[in-house]
């Protein structure tokens, strides 16, 4: 690991988004690796040497403050320390046999492909890069000692073919990760990029701790408390928790992708809204609630000065729906308006929010978290309702801050929905059935 030496650094508070992630880290430690963000992409078609890739990495880190940041201070109240410069390590992974190179100023470490993947040495394969990404993301970051970026260059024939990035969630959310990939691609092609016009994480944190930021936070907390007052109680968990306590199942469904687009087009909303409405309808069937709430991840980049911030800016909005509607289409339209209102109230001090919501009482609470991670939804391009649905168990862990969460991803035409739940709330067969019920609800709505 590179040492920044004696260069001066700047300490400051975490942003609200970083505080949210730190709460999740503490709740899940030492199994918080699930928070790591991995991205794998192909190098440009023009030849890219390792030296050029290393120079692009150096410029990328110089460009984005969050990639030069570590934690400092006590674990229960950490600060972020921003360094003027940093030199993250990277690996060079050859697709064929190679001698391990020394760690240099980069530093560069070479790894034999045979130690990482069975992919033949002569085949330049993205499979190898994906495996390297899984390995690099398999361990939590050392937040006080390690730069928040792990990098590998997959090399064939003397040139870089794939780049692997693993980002610490304290440095980036999903949208920021895509911005980092975009900038890295461009830096591999050119020597520089236009200056950044967005706020830095340090500037954002300073605003959040200003009187104006505190006012915005207070308004959001007031909105949440009003919404909580509308919600019906959630019944207590009735199942004996399993081991591991938290289990994830993932459904891959081309039928759901097409159906969500069909319903979205009919109601002039996004497919994400359709999936949210469906998720809450099925959740209400489990809880017996008429007025049900679900937290939704919002990227909080609506203002021009924050559009390109590389940091953890995303926070949760609270969407509350009256599930007693005459049709699913009516629920979808209600969800569209409720979500738009909630998105405006998704910036707040998470510790102040937690304190305020705790006073409401344990029975009045939202049911889980919804996170649509698709950046391109391909809405309006409706495919045929065909193809095989697959549901598999994909992860398990002992600790987590959230008892129920849904992640939406996948490529166009094939939605991938993951449901992660506390087995005291929903045993594994129930997790799988929840996903199938979600698909069945939306597919049936598309046909009527």
Q: What is the DSSP string of 280-345?
A: HHHHHHHH--SEEEEEEEE----SGGGTT--S---EEEEEEEE---S-HHHHHHHHHHHHHHHHTT
| SS3 of residue 223 by DSSP | helix
| Residue that the structure tokens 């130690």 belong to | 115
Chain position carrying tokens 């698909």: 439
Look at strands 291-298 and 159-167 and give their pairing.
Answer: unpaired
Model confidence at 284: pLDDT above 90: yes
CA angle 13/14/18 to nearest 5° reads 175
pLDDT tens string 225-280: 999 999 999 988 889 999 999 999 999 999 999 999 999 999 999 999 999 999 99
pLDDT bin (cut points 50, 70, 90) of residue 119 is very low
Of 378, 408, 375, the closest CA to residue 182 belongs to 375
Cα gap 55→67, rounded to integer Å: 15
> So what's the pLDDT on residue 7?
61
Taking the C-alpha atoms of residue 52 and residue 332, their distance in angstroms, rounded to an integer, is 49
Whole-angstrom CA distances from 394 to 42, 251, 328, 428 are: 26, 10, 30, 11
Q: Which residue has the tokens 């069945």?
A: 440
Averaged pLDDT, 116-125: 46
Each residue of 24-56: pLDDT tens digit?
Answer: 999 999 999 999 999 999 999 889 999 999 999
Between vectors from CA 248 to CA 246 and to CA 254, what angle results, nearest 5°? 165
Interatomic CA distance for residues 294 and 332, integer angstroms: 14
Instruction: Give, for 63, the enclosing helix (H) or strand (E).
Output: helix 50-63
What pLDDT, in 10s, does the model give residues 122-162? 354 588 999 999 999 999 999 999 999 999 999 988 899 99
Assess whether pLDDT exceeds 50 at residue 2. no
Question: Residue 122's pLDDT is what?
Answer: 36
pLDDT tens for each residue of 351-395: 999 999 988 877 788 899 999 988 655 555 555 546 789 999 999
Asked if residue 447 lies in contact with residue 281, where contact means CB atoms within 8 angstroms, the answer is no
Which pair of tokens denotes residue 100?
């391990």
- Segment 64-71 shows an average pLDDT of 96
Predicted confidence (pLDDT) per residue in 403-443, tens digit: 999 999 987 778 899 999 999 999 999 999 999 999 999 99
User: What confidence score (pLDDT) does residue 378 get?
Assistant: 53
Q: What is the pLDDT of residues 298-324, one digit of tens each?
A: 999 988 778 889 999 999 999 999 999
**pLDDT category, 108, cuts 50, 70, 90?**
very low
Cα separation, 420 vs 407, whole angstroms: 8
Predicted pLDDT at 102 = 29
Q: Do residues 265 and 379 lie in contact, with contact meaning Cβ atoms separated by under 8 Å?
A: yes
Dump pLDDT digits (tens) for 170-226: 999 999 999 999 999 999 998 889 999 888 999 999 999 999 999 999 999 999 999
On average, the pLDDT of the chain sits at: 89
From CA 425, how far away is CA 420, in angstroms rounded? Answer: 11
Instruction: Give residue 383's Cα distance to chain centre.
Output: 27
Q: Name the strand (E) or helix (H) holding 428.
A: helix 428-447
**Statement: residue 116 has pLDDT above 60:** no
pLDDT confidence band for 6 (50 / 70 / 90)? low
Check residue 200 and report its DSSP letter.
Answer: P
Structure tokens at 207: 């605003």
* pLDDT digit string, tens, across residues 326-343: 899 999 999 999 999 999
Q: In what order do the strands lie in the sheet with 37-42?
A: 37-42, 159-167, 149-156, 90-94, 108-111
Phi then psi for residue 86, to 5 deg, are -155, 155
Predicted local confidence at residue 231, as pLDDT: 94
Residue 249 CB partners (closer than 8 Å, separation 6+): 391, 392, 393, 394, 418, 419, 428, 431, 432, 435
């Amino acid at each position: 690991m590179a040492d920044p030496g004696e260069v001066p650094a700047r300490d400051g508070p975490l942003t609200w988004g970083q505080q949210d992630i730190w709460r999740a880290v503490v709740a899940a430690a030492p199994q918080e690796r699930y928070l790591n963000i991995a991205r794998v992409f192909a190098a440009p078609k023009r030849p890219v040497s390792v030296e050029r890739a290393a120079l692009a990495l150096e410029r990328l880190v110089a460009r984005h403050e969050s990639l030069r940041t570590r934690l400092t201070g006590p674990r229960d109240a950490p600060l972020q320390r921003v360094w003027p410069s940093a030199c993250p390590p990277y690996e060079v992974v050859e697709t064929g046999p190679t001698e391990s190179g020394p760690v240099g100023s980069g530093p560069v470490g070479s790894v034999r492909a045979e130690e990482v993947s069975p992919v033949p040495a002569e085949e330049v394969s993205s499979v190898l890069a994906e495996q390297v990404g899984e390995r690099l993301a398999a361990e939590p970051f050392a937040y006080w000692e390690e730069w928040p970026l792990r990098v590998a260059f997959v090399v064939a024939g003397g040139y870089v073919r794939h780049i692997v990035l693993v980002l610490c969630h304290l440095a980036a959310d999903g949208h920021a990760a895509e911005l980092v990939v975009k900038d890295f691609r461009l830096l591999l092609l050119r020597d520089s990029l236009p200056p950044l016009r967005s706020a830095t994480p340090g500037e954002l944190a300073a605003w959040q701790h200003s009187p104006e930021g505190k006012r915005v936070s207070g308004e959001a907390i007031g909105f949440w408390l009003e919404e909580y007052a509308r919600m019906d109680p959630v019944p207590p968990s009735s199942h004996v928790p399993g081991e591991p306590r938290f289990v994830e199942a993932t459904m891959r469904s081309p039928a759901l992708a097409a159906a969500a687009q069909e319903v979205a087009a009919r109601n002039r909303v996004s497919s994400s809204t359709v999936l949210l409405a469906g998720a809450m309808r099925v959740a209400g069937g489990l809880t017996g609630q008429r007025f049900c709430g679900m937290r939704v991840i919002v990227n909080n980049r609506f203002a021009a000065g924050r559009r390109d911030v590389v940091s953890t800016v995303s926070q949760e909005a609270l969407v509350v729906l009256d599930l007693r509607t005459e049709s699913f289409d009516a629920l979808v339209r209600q969800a569209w308006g409720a979500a738009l209102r909630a998105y405006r109230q998704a910036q707040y001090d998470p510790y102040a929010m937690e304190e305020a919501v705790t006073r409401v009482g344990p029975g009045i609470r939202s049911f889980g978290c919804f996170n649509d991670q698709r950046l391109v939804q391909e809405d309006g391009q409706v495919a045929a309702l065909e193809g095989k649905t697959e549901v598999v168990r994909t992860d398990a862990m002992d600790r987590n801050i959230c008892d129920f969460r849904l992640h939406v991803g996948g490529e166009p035409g094939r939605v991938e929905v993951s449901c992660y739940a506390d087995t005291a709330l929903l045993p594994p067969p129930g997790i799988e059935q929840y996903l199938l019920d979600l698909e069945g609800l939306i597919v049936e709505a598309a046909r009527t």
